[in-house]
Copies of this chain bind each other. A is one copy, B any other.
Amino acid sequence: MKIRLINPNTTVRMTEVMGACARAVAAPGTQIDAVSPRDGPPSIEGWYDESLALPGLLAEIAAGERDACDAYVIACFGDPGLYAARECARGPVIGIAEAAMHAASVIAPSFAVVTTLARTCGMAWHLAERYGMKRFCKNVRATDIAVLDLDQPGSDARRLIIDECRRALDEDGAEAIVLGCAGMVDLCHAIEDAIGAPVVEGVTAAVKWAEALVSLKLATAKRGEYAAPLRKPYDGALAPWSPSGGGR
């Protein structure tokens, strides 16, 4: 099966790390296409960044449909464009926050999200509510590391994240951690070893969720809200995004 892993920001080095981590957990027959748009924000750290990532992200979904991808992973913890992508795709589309929260809710009575900037905590709470996972989420904690500093040696990111995870266990009573940024994908096992509690990372979780759904032959429901976008010509610079209609 072919799973398209879309990093909705333009930072290719993040895309490559995500792709490698995804391949490390994928089943033998699974092909992971890790892609990112050329146009848009290099990191997503708020609602405005997220909004401007959507044209690039949705173009990748459209390309994936042409390439007969079986499923999609949206690899940014805000799960941007998830419902729009589901309108466009035949196969399942999974957000990394969604998959990580589901997984955490199965292995632990509750979890805390540890993320980057404080300004994005509200987005994580919003997603937890949307997915029905608010009841499992004890807290959303920020480390105040910028997304693109996560892999910079000087940022001391690993230590700061581990410290925040420990506070989540001790002060919030969480029993597991959900990492709140796709850029933390390669830190997961090191953090788990350090804190002695399960750490769920969304990119890898979503890849396995996608594989599961494809194996079950489950596709996106096309009645109602996730029906294909209605055929209509878009104006101006966005004309290339015009939906070709329900048939495909």
The residues of A with any CB-CB pair to B shorter than 8 Å are 10, 25, 27-28, 37-43, 45-52, 54-56, 58, 81, 83-84, 86-88, 92, 94, 98, 102-103, 105-110, 118-123, 126, 129-136, 146, 169, 173, 175-176, 189, 197-198, 200-201, 204-205, 208-209, 211-213, 215-221, 223-227, 229-230, 232-238, 241, 243
Contacts and interface: CB of A to CB of B under 8 A. Distances in A.
Given A10-B236, A41-B234, A200-B218, A119 B224 contact: yes
A220 B197 CA distance: 9
A115 to B, nearest CB: 13
Contact of A132 (B133, B146, B173, B176): B133
A77 B87 CA distance: 19
Nearest to A58: B51
A125 to B, nearest CB: 9
A23 to B, nearest CB: 12
B237 A39 contact: yes
Contacts of A25: 215-216
Contact of A225 (B102, B122, B146, B215): B122
Contacts of A238: 39-41, 52, 55-56
A235 B54 contact: no
Contact of A38 (B230, B236, B241): B236
Closest 3 CB pairs of A and B: A132-B132, A39-B236, A208-B212
